């Protein structure tokens, strides 16, 4: 996994945007709500993203994956190792993160963003 691949994939999702937050984190958003975050500087956490409560429980049992600092209560996980998840597993998890956040947007905004 590379930041370039993560960025390309996240921005390929409909209406997703990127925003620098906290001066060093690149956040990927839908409707101004984050669904994934990666650090632009060397950091212990390589990537964090939202997941379902069920997937959260399963993922944090795997080596290199921890509850995301400050966001674990909202079912976010963090990868401490870039290779903790192969691309073929990470891609659907990032899509799920996007879908989960999209589903929680206000109805009016969801309708505006729908194709």
Spell out the CATH class of 3-113.
alpha beta
Contact 46, 69 (CB under 8 A): no
**What does the CA dihedral 39, 31, 51, 84 come to, rounded to 10 degrees?**
-30
Among 103, 105, 99, 90, which residue's Cα sits nearest to residue 14? 99
Report pTM: 0.90
pLDDT (0 to 100) of residue 58: 96
pLDDT (0 to 100) of residue 115: 62
Q: Running DSSP on this structure, what letter comes out for residue 68?
A: P
Domain ranges of the chain: 3-113
pLDDT (0 to 100) of residue 82: 84
pLDDT (0 to 100) of residue 22: 86
pLDDT (0 to 100) of residue 27: 96
- The rounded average pLDDT for each run of 10 residues, N- to C-terminus, in the chain (115 residues) is 86 95 92 93 87 96 94 95 91 97 92 79
Among 69, 72, 62, which residue's Cα sits nearest to residue 39? 69
């Amino acid at each position: 996994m590379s930041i370039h691949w993560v960025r390309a994939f996240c921005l390929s999702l409909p209406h997703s945007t990127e925003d620098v937050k906290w001066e060093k984190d690149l956040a990927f958003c839908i409707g101004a709500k984050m669904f994934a975050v990666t650090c632009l500087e060397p950091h212990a956490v390589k990537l964090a993203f939202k997941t379902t409560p069920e997937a959260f429980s399963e993922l944090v049992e795997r080596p290199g994956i921890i509850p995301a600092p400050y966001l674990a209560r909202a079912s976010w996980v963090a990868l401490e190792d870039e290779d903790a998840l192969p691309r073929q597993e990470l891609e659907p998890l990032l899509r799920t993160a996007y879908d989960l956040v999209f589903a929680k947007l206000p109805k009016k905004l969801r309708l505006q963003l729908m194709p």
